[in-house]
């Protein structure tokens, strides 16, 4: 149908509102409460426009268009309405723009300048509201609130947890949390962007800069495999805050808290700022030339006994370079799967493990099975899509995991299973909820990254693949790190070259189990304490090996004790490169700030070292090579069908399972204090009910020769049996992060 806005003819769809048509054609209508991704309440009255035939001005956000409608957004009736609304809104708004962090990007400021009057008739006392402490991430200045209720609707509609609410009526209306410090959902930071005034603001950014000073640089999130698009705002070469960059295929208008507040760790005191070399049992400051000299000598000496482990945090460029120069000098023990402990599946694994369907297609699914994943905590952006699916399409969601996870969408059936039970659950002869799923429906299986940590991962993924095939479902694999898909594609594996080309003669991953005595270890951007499936074993190995080369951004105890040389690695925000996200999209990011101290980005460090070793790689060629490799990859499905399965032995010893903590997943995040204190305040150990523990019971966790005493909240669970669940968050407690250790109760 056609409508007329300011006497110009525009095309409109049925059920559209005036503001939607106007927005599409860049016609400015002021608004506060309207947001394109939230429901319409028409409470602020700022978008009133003159509609021909209507007695009074109509709110453009809630008036549905009809054929031949004539709208006037500039006439005197509209302007009068805007002026009066503005005057009402400003009655109680304080004049504290000079100290308000929103000043300069404030919607109230802008609209007041464009549509407000220069004087007010209000002479009485303004309202003041006492602030409530709502958490570490968002600061409040509730006197500034204009009650648009965007934050309240966001909680109800998008985040799924109603954390902020409106209490009181009329002048006593307040936006508040009902309990102190309770803004803790993984998407809570988005209320900062939604707030049109300075009532809700970013705590990390508080009073540190002004909006007009900030420089905006777009980048890609390094905290989860979805690869959210973000803008960093910098001032004087420091990241001041992070805001979402709209991308309709990934993060929509939202951002997870780990992305928004995840830059705090960059300025940590533990940053390694200089090249370090061990001399008389101490790491001392050195320079890159000396390091390259020593390292190249050692690498040539121990070529056959070298093991290299790289983080899947690294960019595709770093990965490509890393494996290329190592393979060129004859080192083939390369891996990125430091958190896994079962590798028998690896020949059959897809070249790029991926989510396999577009995120927007999730909405149309009829059945979704979640395996061992807490979407709300681990992939907050994905939870928006799943929640939408449940709301729009009443999708049936089944959750099968080791722990009863809380999700922000409705789950129709959830089951708590131990790894062995999980393996059996998907076999055809078992009679359970899965046998009711119709293969003619649109089904989807989403497998979480913590499944890959399990000791019987091969069996689990094999059974799931068989089951997925039988119900015509796609298998979506979520990556543990932001570039897990890239690591598989770039050949950071012992058995595959870039592009998934199989190596005839390969060994199993060598950083675990048997290893030669005289050996050399290269650890790239991984922290031995936190990033390995078996931290005691890797530390043991660091102790015994002849030479340890670290590329790291942050200092940890084990690096300080066992590293022989440490290259100062720049963090992601300080380097450039690209990430392959879980949808197989290669996303390029640029340098946001300059590297701290003498640290250098990985590409430079690796090029320098490979040049010293006599391998000349043209750095301009790298991204071309990567594109070539990726364009040649052809994947049909994610099914992993293993020919011969080893039977998992049934024993009754207690098994320990780690619950993945997404907010301490990478070195930078581990140093973000405000994030850790907000989201990870529930570390616990959960012990089977049948163990009959009481408050005096002592728990000893044995890892090799060491045993650890644990201070943690103890919970009990009924299911799964013979399993101890550990969620240890933050940094220091996470040391017990090994995934297979024996547990004793006394």
Partner 1 sequence: MNSIIKFIKSLFFLEIFKGLSITGKKLYKKPITIQYPEEKTPQSTRFRGLHALRKYPNGEERCIGCKLCEAVCPALAITIDTEERADDNTRRTTKYDIDLFKCIYCGFCEEACPVDAIIETSIFEYHFENRNDGIMNKIDLLKIGDLYEQQELKDRSANDL
Residue 236 C-beta: closest distance to partner 1, Å:
8
Q: State yes or no: residue 208 binds partner 1 (CB under 8 A).
A: yes
Residue 91 C-beta: closest distance to partner 1, Å:
21
CB-wise, 213 or 249, nearer to partner 1? Answer: 213
User: How far from 73 is each of 50, 82, 109, 186, 273, CA to CA, in Å?
Assistant: 6, 10, 20, 39, 57
CA 536 to mean position of chain CA atoms: 27
Q: State yes or no: residue 209 binds partner 1 (CB under 8 A).
A: yes
Q: DSSP states of 322-363 as a string? A: HHHHHHHTT--EEE--TT----TTTTTS-SS----S-GGGGG
Using CB under 8 A, count the residues that bind partner 1. Answer: 11
- Contact between 439 and 448 under an 8 Å Cβ cutoff? The reply is no
Name the segment binding partner 1 (CB under 8 A); options: 42-50, 205-213, 257-265, 505-513. Answer: 205-213
CB-wise, 118 or 212, nearer to partner 1? Answer: 212
Residues 77-106 contacting partner 1, CB under 8 A:
97-99, 103
Residue 176 C-beta: closest distance to partner 1, Å:
19
Q: State yes or no: residue 212 binds partner 1 (CB under 8 A).
A: yes
Contact pattern from residue 504 through residue 533 relative to partner 1, giving x for each residue in contact according to CB under 8 A and a dash for the rest: ------------------------------
Residue 96 C-beta: closest distance to partner 1, Å:
9
3-state secondary structure 116-127: CCCCCCCCCCCC
State the Cα–Cα distance between residues 317 and 618, nearest whole angstrom.
12
Q: State yes or no: residue 267 binds partner 1 (CB under 8 A).
A: no
Name the segment binding partner 1 (CB under 8 A); options: 201-209, 402-410, 699-707, 734-742. Answer: 201-209
Q: Locate tokens 């109230």: which residue?
A: 108
- Contact between 534 and 510 under an 8 Å Cβ cutoff? The reply is no
CA proximity to 642, closest of 462, 456, 460: 462
State the Cα–Cα distance between residues 631 and 643, nearest whole angstrom.
29
Residue 103 C-beta: closest distance to partner 1, Å:
8
Hey, which residues does 658 pair with through a beta bridge? 726
723-727 and 684-688 strand pairing: antiparallel
Residues 103-142 contacting partner 1, CB under 8 A:
103
Return the residue of 210, 278, 348, 612 that touches partner 1, per CB under 8 A. 210
- Contact between 61 and 47 under an 8 Å Cβ cutoff? The reply is yes
CB-wise, 210 or 278, nearer to partner 1? Answer: 210
Residue 197 C-beta: closest distance to partner 1, Å:
17
Residue 154: exposure state from Cβ atoms within 10 A (0-12, 13-18, ≥19): buried
State the Cα–Cα distance between residues 455 and 512, nearest whole angstrom.
13
Q: DSSP states of 699-711 as a string? A: EEEEETTEEEE--
CB-wise, 122 or 207, nearer to partner 1? Answer: 207
State the Cα–Cα distance between residues 278 and 560, nearest whole angstrom.
9
CB-wise, 141 or 564, nearer to partner 1? Answer: 141
Hey, which residues does 230 pair with through a beta bridge? 219, 244
Name the segment binding partner 1 (CB under 8 A); options: 210-218, 408-416, 506-514, 562-570. Answer: 210-218
CB-wise, 81 or 100, nearer to partner 1? Answer: 100
Hey, which residues does 685 pair with through a beta bridge? 714, 726
The pair of three-digit structure tokens given for residue 405, joined into one six-digit string: 């996870």
The pair of three-digit structure tokens given for residue 59, joined into one six-digit string: 């709110």
Q: State yes or no: residue 56 binds partner 1 (CB under 8 A).
A: no
Residue 175 φ/ψ, nearest 5 degrees: -100, 125
Name the segment binding partner 1 (CB under 8 A); options: 85-93, 208-216, 357-365, 565-573. Answer: 208-216
Name the segment binding partner 1 (CB under 8 A); options: 186-194, 202-210, 352-360, 566-574. Answer: 202-210
Return the residue of 206, 507, 692, 698 that touches partner 1, per CB under 8 A. 206
Q: State yes or no: residue 237 binds partner 1 (CB under 8 A).
A: no
CB-wise, 266 or 447, nearer to partner 1? Answer: 266
Contact pattern from residue 569 through residue 608 relative to partner 1, giving x for each residue in contact according to CB under 8 A and a dash for the rest: ----------------------------------------
Can you give the binding site for partner 1, defined by CB under 8 A?
A: 97-99, 103, 206-210, 212-213
């Amino acid at each position: 149908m056609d409508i007329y806005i300011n006497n110009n003819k525009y095309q409109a769809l049925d059920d559209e509102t005036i503001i939607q048509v106007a927005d599409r054609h860049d016609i400015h209508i002021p608004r506060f409460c309207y947001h394109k991704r939230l429901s319409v309440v028409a409470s602020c009255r700022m978008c009133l426009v003159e509609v021909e035939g209507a007695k009074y001005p109509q709110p453009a956000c809630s008036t549905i268009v009809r054929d031949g409608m004539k709208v006037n957004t500039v006439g005197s009736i509209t302007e009068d309405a805007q002026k009066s609304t503005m005057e009402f809104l400003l009655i109680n708004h304080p004049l504290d723009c000079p100290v308000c962090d929103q000043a300069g990007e404030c919607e109230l400021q802008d609209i007041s300048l464009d549509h407000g009057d220069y004087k007010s008739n209000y002479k009485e006392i303004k309202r003041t509201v006492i602030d409530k402490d709502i958490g570490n991430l968002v600061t409040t200045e509730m006197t500034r609130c204009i009650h648009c209720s965007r934050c309240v609707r966001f909680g109800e509609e998008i985040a799924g947890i109603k954390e902020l609410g409106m209490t009181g009526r009329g002048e006593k209306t307040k936006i508040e949390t009902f309990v102190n410090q309770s803004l803790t959902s993984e998407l809570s930071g988005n209320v900062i962007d939604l707030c049109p005034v300075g009532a809700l603001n970013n705590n990390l950014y508080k009073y540190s800069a002004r909006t007009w000073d900030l420089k905006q640089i777009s980048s890609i999130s390094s905290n989860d495999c979805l690869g959210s698009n973000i803008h960093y705002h910098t001032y004087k070469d420091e990241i001041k805050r992070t805001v979402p960059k709209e991308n309709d295929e990934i993060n929509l208008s939202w951002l997870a808290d780990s992305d928004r507040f995840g830059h705090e760790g960059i300025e940590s005191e533990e940053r390694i700022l200089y090249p370090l070399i061990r001399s008389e049992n101490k790491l001392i400051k050195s320079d890159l030339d000396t390091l390259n000299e020593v390292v190249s000598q050692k690498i040539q000496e121990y070529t056959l006994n070298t093991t290299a482990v790289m983080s899947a945090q690294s960019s595709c460029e770093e990965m490509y370079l890393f494996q290329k120069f190592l393979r060129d000098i004859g080192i083939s023990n390369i891996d990125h799967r430091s958190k896994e402990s079962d590798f028998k599946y690896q020949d059959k694994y897809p070249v790029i493990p991926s989510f396999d369907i577009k995120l927007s297609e999730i909405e149309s699914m009829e059945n979704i099975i979640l395996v061992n994943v807490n979407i709300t905590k681990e992939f907050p952006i994905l939870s928006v899509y799943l929640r939408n699916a449940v709301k729009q399409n009443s999708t049936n969601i089944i959750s099968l995991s080791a722990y009863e996870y809380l999700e922000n969408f409705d789950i129709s059936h959830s089951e708590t299973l131990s790894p062995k039970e999980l393996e059996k659950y998907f076999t055809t002869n078992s009679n359970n909820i899965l046998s009711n799923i119709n293969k003619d429906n649109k089904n989807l299986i989403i497998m979480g990254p913590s499944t890959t940590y399990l000791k019987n991962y091969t069996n689990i993924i094999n059974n799931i693949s068989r089951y997925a095939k039988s119900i015509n479902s796609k298998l979506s694999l979520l990556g543990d790190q932001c570039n897990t898909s890239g690591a598989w594609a770039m050949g950071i594996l012992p058995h595959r070259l870039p592009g998934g080309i199989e190596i005839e003669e390969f060994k199993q991953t060598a950083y675990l189990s048997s290893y030669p005595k005289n050996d050399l270890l290269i650890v790239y951007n991984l922290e031995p304490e936190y990033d390995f499936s078996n931290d005691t074993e890797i530390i043991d190995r660091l102790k015994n090996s002849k030479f340890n080369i670290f590329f790291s951004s942050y200092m940890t105890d084990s690096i300080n004790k066992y590293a022989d040389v440490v290259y100062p690695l720049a963090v992601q925000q300080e380097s450039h490169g690209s990430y392959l996200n879980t949808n197989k999209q290669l996303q390029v990011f640029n340098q946001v700030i300059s590297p701290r101290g003498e640290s250098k980005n990985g590409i430079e460090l690796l090029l320098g070292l490979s040049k010293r070793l006599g391998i000349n790689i043209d750095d301009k060629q790298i991204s071309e090579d990567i594109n070539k490799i990726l364009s040649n990859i052809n994947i049909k499905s994610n099914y992993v069908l293993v020919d011969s399965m080893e039977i998992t032995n049934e024993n009754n010893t207690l098994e320990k399972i780690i619950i993945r903590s997404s907010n301490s997943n990478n070195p930078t995040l581990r140093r973000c204090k405000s994030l850790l204190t907000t989201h990870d305040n529930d570390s616990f150990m959960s012990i089977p009910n049948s163990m009959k523990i009481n408050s005096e019971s002592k728990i000893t966790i044995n890892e090799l020769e060491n045993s650890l005493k644990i201070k943690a909240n103890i919970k009990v669970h009924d299911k799964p049996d013979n399993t101890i669940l550990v969620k240890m968050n933050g940094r220091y407690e996470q040391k017990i992060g090994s995934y297979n250790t024996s547990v004793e109760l006394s």
